[in-house]
Amino acid sequence: MRTAPSIALADWAMVTHHEKQLADETPRASKRAAHSWAADVGPGLASVASDNDPGGIATYTLAGAWYGFDVLWVCVLSYPSTVALQLIAARVAVVTGRGLTTNMRAHYSSLFYFFAVARFLFANTFNVAVDLLAMGVALHVFIGGSVAWLALLSGAASIALQCLVPYARYARIVKWMALAMFAYVGVIVVVEVPWQTVLMRAFVPRVDWNEEYITMLIAVLGTTVSPYLMFAQAEQEVRGGGRRDQKALNGQMRKIRRDTLLRTALSNAAALCMMIAAAATLHLMQKTPVGEPVDMARVLAPLAHGYASHVLAVAVIGSALLALPPLAGSAAQAVASSFNWPRGEQRDRRIAWLLVGVTGLGAAAAMVLAVLRVEPVHALYWSAVANGMTVTPVLALLVLLGAKREVVGDFVAHWTVRVLSWFATLATGAAIVAHFVLEFV
């Protein structure tokens, strides 16, 4: 699942953290090709970068263009709950030494477990597809040609990079493309922004009870309170193994809490920057009607002028390249947990093939979307809507898992963390119920 300097710093911090982790491995592990990185650190490598993908950029841009500053409050008020959910996911992984999908398999009925895996696989594959479609459009800005073939080429390039280049080296280069995202902050500086209105809308919810607004609310929630963040957080901590010692657990959780608070703050601040920039340009200046197509590059025009499309294209390509491997890797991890494969080289190879399969399926879907001339921005937006529409059951399973003493023993999360997590779960559920009521009643 954002831009601005804050998100660029978050990307760099995330990559640097994992580069240090990789450097601490044995020489054999540190030199291992990328074909097994997904199995080892897959979902946790770039959780912020995946929030930073083209789908997130499109969702926040449309929110600002269509509704001005009226959706800012979601990114502010969801912050405590997003942190709480990630802390529960991390606690489960630290205590048990296993990821969320593995724990769900052990402690829930097959029906609930396979629903969670199927939902995760569908959502991530759809995200991969629309991200590759966005990459095809971005490459078209520079070299022209067929968007469909460029999307397919982007998928092939992503697979090749994952198979041939260690992720730490890969990310070291790609991360510099995130510099293009500073342009959103530049837009806020050069255009006139009604800051009093911004502050009011950021802390005081304003809800329009119509289907279009509720759909946008679901999309923003699906991007901001994404299960991917929780699964990524858990998989990142699994590498440390289970920790039942109270002192060791408390020390590990203090570090996780600090990192999560900062990383989530940077991500949510970046989302705010994107929405403010889009609201100040496309909503206030150009009065974009709700539901109308939006040229995302026009947000950057006050700063980049004739190069706005090129700046946006660089940001899209960079964010997609950082996000695609973890998206596909986490989906592969979820499927691997379904078969209960033991950790080891054989599991790594199987997950690598699953990762290639997910990316290849996403590339084929992206090509189909391009051939059918599906509007790319709306495709990105509806991927966020699909994520938000299916998020509630997975969040509920996560919170219940974190409260099970058979799972975490005496290390149950503090009641405030559980309350905040339930608040997010109920909020997403309420938004979905409201959507169906407005649509069918």
Structural domain boundaries of the chain?
4-440
What pLDDT is stored for residue 240 in this prediction? 53
- Report how far apart, in Å, the C-alpha atoms of 300 and of each of 180, 307, 316, 322, 387 are: 10, 9, 13, 22, 27
Give the predicted TM-score (pTM) of the model.
0.85
Gap between the Cα atoms of 385 and 19, Å rounded: 33
Please give the pLDDT value at position 284. Answer: 92
What single string gives the DSSP state of each residue in 146-173? -HHHHHHHHHHHHHHHHHHS-HHHHHHH
Report the pLDDT value the prediction gives residue 44, as an integer from 0 to 100. 35
Are the beta carbons of 401 and 100 closer than 8 angstroms? yes
**CB-CB contact of 235 with 43 (8 Å):** yes
State which amino acid sits at residue 282.
L
Q: In the chain, count of helices (H) and strands (E)?
A: 23, 0
Per-10-residue mean pLDDT of the chain, 441 residues long, equals 34 35 39 40 39 86 96 94 91 83 81 81 92 96 95 93 78 79 91 95 92 95 81 68 65 85 85 94 92 93 94 92 83 78 76 89 95 94 92 89 82 87 93 91 72
Q: Considering only CA atoms, which of 408, 425, 407, 231 is closest in space to residue 334? A: 231
> What's the fold here for domain 4-440?
Amino acid/polyamine transporter I (1.20.1740)
Q: How far is 87 from 261, CA to CA, in rounded Å?
A: 10
